[in-house]
């Protein structure tokens, strides 16, 4: 099942910079693993914001919830999820 996910990160202003850097590195490592196994299909930065648009390919709502809530930056994120279905006018590759 495909999901469009927007993630906005908002660290508290008083977070320790070293703690923030460690969280970002852990997030990167986790995200790369999800991309390699095919569950995190697309990852796009939103210009001028600490946010991204992503496409996840998972079995359903429960798996997506588990994936997102396991993100190291999850406590600092606002997440919006939109389930996707194929559009009937979509051009398919031959």
pLDDT tens, the chain, 94 aa long: 999 999 999 999 999 999 999 999 999 999 999 999 999 999 999 999 999 999 999 999 999 999 999 999 999 999 999 999 988 888 876 5
Tell me, what CATH number does 12's domain have? 3.30.70.1060
Domain-located, residue 90: no
Instruction: Kindly report whether the global pTM for this prediction surpasses the value 0.75.
Output: yes
Domain-located, residue 50: yes
Number of domains within the chain: 1
Order of strands across the sheet with 51-57?
Answer: 40-45, 51-57, 2-9, 77-84
Q: What is the domain range of residue 28?
A: 2-84
Domain-located, residue 89: no
List residues bridging with 3 in a β-sheet. 56, 83
């Amino acid at each position: 099942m495909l999901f469009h996910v927007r993630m906005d990160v908002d660290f508290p202003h008083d977070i320790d910079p070293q703690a923030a850097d460690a969280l970002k590195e852990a997030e990167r490592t986790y995200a790369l693993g999800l991309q390699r196994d095919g569950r995190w299909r697309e990852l796009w930065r939103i210009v001028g914001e600490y946010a991204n648009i992503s496409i996840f390919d998972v079995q359903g709502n429960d798996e997506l919830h588990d994936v997102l809530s396991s993100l190291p930056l999850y406590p600092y994120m606002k997440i919006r999820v939109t389930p996707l279905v194929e559009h009937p006018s979509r051009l398919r590759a031959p």
